[in-house]
Amino acid sequence: MNYNQAQQRVHDLKKFYKSVLWFGIVAFIIFFDDIFEKGIFNFSLWNGSVILVIWGIILTVKAVKLFFLDSEWERDVMEKEMRKSKDPLNF
């Protein structure tokens, strides 16, 4: 990994962690607002949380892309595919 790739990865990690922090803040506000309005016994996770579900799915996709499908994974898959071909290339 060269300097530019490392810098981009740090930038992407920073953006992801900020998104997770904002998700937590908004989820906290929505859930506790519902609890204070409706009470603990009438509280439902599904009321008003469609936005949080969509946002959570987006964050999950970003996390998979950031942590599992990173440049090292891509390089490993490329090397594996190159080994299958007749003319191997060394990176």
Length of the chain: 91
> Domain extents for the chain?
3-84
pLDDT at 40: 62
Question: What tens digit of pLDDT does each residue of 9-56 get?
Answer: 889 899 999 999 999 999 888 888 777 777 666 655 566 677 888 889
CA atoms within a 13 Å half-sphere pointing along the CA-CB vector of 2: 1
Q: Do the Cβ atoms of 89 and 78 come closer than 8 Å?
A: no
Confidence (pTM): 0.67
Ordered DSSP codes for 33-46? HHHHHH-STT--TT
Angle ∠(25,29,33) on CA atoms, nearest 5: 170
The residue written with tokens 């090292």 in the block is 72
